[in-house]
């Protein structure tokens, strides 16, 4: 990639993707991609930025920690910033880290490290004043986290009061300790089983379960979740001093704070690698998820000498495990039908335990993928579970072929409805085109009822299946016509549960516009985009009638998404569905905070605005929100149709383009005055 413009484009694209996945992961506790995939994107960005320092950007996710706190929580300030860790993905990267440390210290011999299991949970800081727990917060963006004091107090392993055991160091007046809140694997599986039975969406992995449980507005929910904690460091300490990381761990333990007993002092990189190998082989037997080991320079004065970067200290590293792999046999390849009719081939595997989790199925994505990897029924295969979600087949062990393996043929008839299966030009997937296909109806109802959509409590997979099979429901709108007497005689329903379900359906009529748009299941419109569209259009009618141009002008909506939205509303059946949902009483509401009506005399009304460079007074997102609230449209690229380009520091090529096209240019001071933010 020698072409500058192409590099820049790729950097921007990576930043966009990483920010989106950060939002899913940190703000929603609901990642869309595996950690391994995320780490690959992040790596690529780091490498591009290093190779092209001219594109350096202080706002890049490679220079920042986590994600800003959600406004729903009070803010928790970290008086000493809580940083992230740099990753080593291989032994040679760990040795490289060690070399760098010795160079910075000008120290030739082996350095002493403390190696600790890297718990896969979420970081918290807990403040003790005179030994009494006074507050607690999440890491957030490293400077500000979410205040989750009442929630942390419900975790039994977190002492409300510290103590000193026989002759240990006395308690400091002020102490902030840092640790990882996590959930044991068995507890996570139990929690998910309960959620499945209740028709609630499942957590992808123990980390998300822990994060989702801690970040609750109602601490009585947190109290019911089996959370645990290990502490591994301190932030601000007044009234005590430490000379080594090991001393910190021992002292915290003596004060009654849980510390992982597997941590150990290591002499040089050699010992750290040995520790890593030990933990990796113990990993399946550990009750909790560990995603690597953390090595920290033991001496605190040396840590100070080495210092830190904006995102992570230079004296510590997270040496990560590679994704879990194992070998199994493909017993069968079955085809699943999704809500848009896409047929996904799935390998049914001989059950195997990979990293402590039993795997029975693996997605094969589509026919091309199966052909590319040449996966046949009967093959021995390497399967991988990348920390979470759906396992994958990495490759076939071709040496083990006997000649009896059977290649896969895509079905020509839908396994659910028997309808014709087609592959549309330009698509990698096969589809069942029958709109009345029961499998599609069930899948779209599951989506419709989901937590981030209409959020209908108690309407789980089994009940949906039953309702569709009994002919009670064929479209989401039918749900609203169900009466308790329709349900009474169905298996598993008593009078009370029938009434409860009908009431839950009734309650879902009061729904935010964003959740409603998401519930419709427009291809490519996920939860985040649904929110963007809701903020922009303010009503479902406005969205239905939007033109391609209007849609593409919205930041985050590309050509593909725009045409998906247009296609969706072009279909009379979908318009009828929206219409019927409104007739049965679904009233999508616009949350006032996000969309106050733009004052009629607003300077910004109907202007097309582009941002470039960094604003010193607010984030790009905040700035966008402000002008959108005042009636403007924010677009990504400068064109002749752009009305204003707002320019911060270090502007990009957009500024030159604006000058060339004679577009009005606005500096930050004027911008602030015009949005009333001085
Ligand atoms: N899948 C996704 O979409 C997605 C999105 C964002 C982040 N992620 C994942 O999160 C990672 C980045 O997250 P991060 O910034 O929290 O960094 P990190 O998890 O790589 O490392 C820092 C964190 O490790 C934790 N930790 C656990 N044990 C520790 C110990 N003994 N000592 C010190 N810290 C310890 C702390 O919470 C600390 O904040 C990525 O590498 C990726 O795997 C995934
Ligand atoms: Zn079908």
Atom of ligand 1 lying closest to residue 31 CA = 3
Q: Alpha carbon 240 to chain centroid distance?
A: 38
Q: d(Cα 476, Cα 453) in Å, to the nearest integer? A: 12
Atom of ligand 1 lying closest to residue 122 CA = 37
Complete DSSP assignment for 598-660:
PPTT-TTTT-EEEEESB-SSS-HHHHHHHHHHTT-EE-SS--TT--EEEE-BS--HHHHHHHH
Name which residue leads in pLDDT, 195 or 265.
Answer: 265
Share of the chain above pLDDT 70, in %: 97
Q: Which ligand is nearest to the CA of 141?
A: 1
The dihedral built from the CA positions of residue 84, 90, 94 and 100, taken in this order, carries a sign that is: negative
Fill in the DSSP letter of residue 25.
I
- Tell me what the mean pLDDT of segment 56-66 comes to: 90
- 260 CA → ligand 1 middle, Å: 17
- 571 Cβ partners below 8 Å, 6+ apart? none
Among 88, 123, 286, the mutation site with the greatest number of ligand 1 atoms within 8 A of its Cβ is 123
Fill in the DSSP letter of residue 23.
I
Query: Highest mean pLDDT: which of 196-210, 327-341, 590-604?
Result: 327-341
CB 295 within 8 A of CB 114: yes
Pocket flag, ligand 1, residue 31 (CB < 6 Å): yes
pLDDT tens sequence across 186-219: 999 899 888 877 777 778 788 989 999 999 999 9
- Predicted confidence (pLDDT) at residue 595 exceeds the cutoff of 50: no
3-class secondary structure, 215: coil
Q: d(Cα 135, Cα 652) in Å, to the nearest integer? A: 42
Fill in the DSSP letter of residue 413.
B
- Predicted confidence (pLDDT) at residue 326 exceeds the cutoff of 90: no
Q: Say whether 118 is catalytic.
A: yes
- 435 CA → ligand 2 middle, Å: 8
- 425 CA → ligand 2 middle, Å: 19
Domain annotation for the chain: domains and CATH numbers: 4-63 (1.10.287.610), 77-320 (3.30.470.30), 324-419 (2.40.50.140), 438-508 (1.10.150.20), 512-589 (1.10.150.20), 608-674 (3.40.50.10190)
* 35 annotated as ligand-binding: yes
CB 191 within 8 A of CB 209: yes
- The catalytic position among 4, 103, 118, 657 is 118
pLDDT tens sequence across 115-127: 999 999 999 999 9
φ/ψ (deg, to 5) at 5 = -65, -40
Average pLDDT, the chain: 90
- 341 CA → ligand 2 middle, Å: 7
- Tell me what the mean pLDDT of segment 33-41 comes to: 79
CB 557 within 8 A of CB 635: no
pLDDT tens sequence across 623-677: 888 888 788 888 888 888 888 999 988 888 888 888 888 888 888 888 888 887 6
Pocket flag, ligand 1, residue 604 (CB < 6 Å): no
Closest to 123 in 3D by CA, of 285, 265, 312 = 312
pLDDT tens sequence across 606-615: 888 999 888 8
φ/ψ (deg, to 5) at 205 = -160, 170
Assigned token pair, 76: 């928790």
Assigned token pair, 485: 């007497």
- Predicted confidence (pLDDT) at residue 144 exceeds the cutoff of 50: yes
Pocket flag, ligand 1, residue 25 (CB < 6 Å): yes
Q: Which ligand is nearest to the CA of 422?
A: 2
For ligand 1, atom 17: residue with the closest CA: 84
Q: Is 43 exposed, middle or buried (0-12, 13-18, 19+ CB in 10 A)?
A: middle
H/E run at residue 72: none
Q: Which ligand is nearest to the CA of 441?
A: 2
Name which residue leads in pLDDT, 672 or 571.
Answer: 571
- Predicted confidence (pLDDT) at residue 1 exceeds the cutoff of 80: no
- Predicted confidence (pLDDT) at residue 162 exceeds the cutoff of 70: yes
Q: Alpha carbon 437 to chain centroid distance?
A: 31
* 487 annotated as ligand-binding: no
Give the CA angle between residues 382, 386, 390 to the nearest 5°.
Answer: 85
H/E run at residue 11: helix 4-22
How many residues belong to the chain?
678
CA dihedral 48, 49, 54, 57 (to 10 degrees): 140
Fill in the DSSP letter of residue 226.
-
3-class secondary structure, 371: helix
Helix intervals (H) in 283-427: 300-306, 367-373
Q: d(Cα 4, Cα 52) in Å, to the nearest integer? A: 9
Confidence band of 599 (pLDDT split at 50, 70, 90): low
Query: Highest mean pLDDT: which of 165-169, 344-348, 532-536, 551-555?
Result: 344-348
3-class secondary structure, 267: strand
Write down the pLDDT at residue 192. 86
């Amino acid at each position: 990639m020698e072409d500058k413009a192409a590099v820049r484009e790729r950097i921007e694209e990576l930043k966009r993707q990483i920010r989106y996945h950060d939002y899913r992961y940190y703000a929603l506790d609901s990642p869309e991609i595996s950690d391994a995939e995320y780490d690959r994107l992040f790596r690529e960005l780091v490498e591009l930025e290093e190779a092209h320092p001219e594109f350096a950007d202080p706002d890049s996710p490679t220079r920042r920690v986590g994600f800003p706190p959600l406004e729903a929580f009070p803010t928790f300030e970290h008086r000493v910033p809580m940083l992230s860790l740099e990753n080593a993905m291989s032994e040679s990267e760990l040795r490289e880290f060690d070399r760098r440390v010795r160079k910075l210290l000008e120290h030739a011999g082996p350095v002493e490290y403390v190696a600790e299991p890297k718990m896969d949970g979420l970081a918290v800081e807990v403040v003790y004043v005179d030994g009494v727990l006074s507050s607690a917060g999440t890491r957030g963006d490293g400077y500000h986290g979410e205040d989750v004091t009442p929630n942390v107090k419900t975790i039994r392993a977190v002492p409300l009061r510290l103590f000193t055991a026989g002759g240990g160091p006395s308690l400091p007046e002020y102490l902030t300790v840092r640790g990882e809140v996590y959930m044991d694997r068995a507890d996570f599986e139990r929690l998910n089983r309960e959620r499945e039975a209740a028709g609630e969406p499942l957590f992808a992995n123990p980390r998300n379960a822990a994060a989702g449980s801690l970040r609750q507005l109602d601490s009585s929910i947190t109290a019911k979740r089996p959370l645990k904690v290990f502490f591994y460091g301190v932030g601000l300490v007044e009234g005590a001093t430490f000379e080594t990381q090991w001393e910190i761990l021992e002292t915290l333990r003596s004060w009654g704070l849980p510390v992982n007993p597997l941590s150990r002092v290591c002499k040089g990189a050699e010992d750290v690698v040995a520790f890593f190998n030990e933990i990796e082989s113990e990993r399946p037997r550990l009750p909790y998820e560990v995603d690597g080991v953390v090595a920290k320079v033991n001496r605190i004065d040396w840590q100070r000498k080495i210092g830190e970067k904006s995102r992570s200290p230079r004296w510590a590293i997270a040496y990560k495990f590679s994704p879990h792999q194992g070998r199994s046999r493909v017993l069968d390849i079955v085809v699943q039908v999704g809500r848009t009719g896409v047929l996904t081939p799935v390998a049914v595997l001989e059950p195997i335990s990979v990293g402590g989790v039993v795997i029975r199925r693996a997605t094969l994505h589509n026919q091309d993928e199966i052909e590319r990897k040449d996966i046949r029924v009967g093959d021995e295969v390497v399967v991988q579970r990348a920390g979470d979600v759906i396992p994958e087949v990495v490759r076939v062990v071709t040496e083990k072929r006997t000649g009896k393996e059977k290649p896969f043929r895509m079905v020509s008839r839908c396994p659910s409805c028997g309808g014709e299966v087609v592959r549309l030009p330009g698509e990698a997937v096969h589809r069942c085109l029958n709109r009345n296909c029961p499998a599609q109806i069930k899948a779209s109802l599951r989506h419709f009822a989901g937590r981030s959509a209409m959020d209908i409590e108690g309407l789980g997979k089994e009940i949906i299946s039953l309702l569709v099979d009994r002919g009670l429901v064929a479209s989401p709108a039918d749900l609203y016509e169900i009466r308790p007497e329709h349900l009474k005689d169905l298996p598993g329903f008593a009078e009370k549960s029938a009434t409860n379900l009908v009431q839950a359906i009734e309650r879902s009529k009061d729904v935010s516009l964003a959740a409603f748009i998401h519930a419709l299941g427009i291809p490519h419109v996920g939860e985040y985009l649904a929110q963007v569209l809701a903020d922009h259009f303010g009503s479902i009618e406005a969205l239905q009638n939007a033109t391609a141009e209007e849609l593409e002008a919205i930041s985050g909506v590309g050509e593909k998404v725009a045409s998906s939205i247009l296609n969706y509303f072009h279909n009379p059946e979908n318009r009828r569905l929206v219409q019927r949902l409104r007739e049965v009483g679904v009233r999508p509401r616009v949350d006032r905070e996000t969309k106050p009506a733009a004052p009629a005399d607003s300077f910004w009304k109907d202007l097309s605005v582009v941002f470039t460079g960094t604003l010193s007074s607010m984030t790009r997102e905040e700035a966008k929100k402000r002008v959108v609230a005042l009636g403007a449209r924010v677009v990504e690229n400068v064109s002749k149709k752009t009305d204003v380009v707002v320019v911060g520091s270090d502007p990009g090529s957009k500024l030159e383009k604006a000058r060339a096209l004679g577009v009005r240019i606005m500096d930050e001071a004027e911008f602030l005055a015009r949005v009333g933010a001085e």
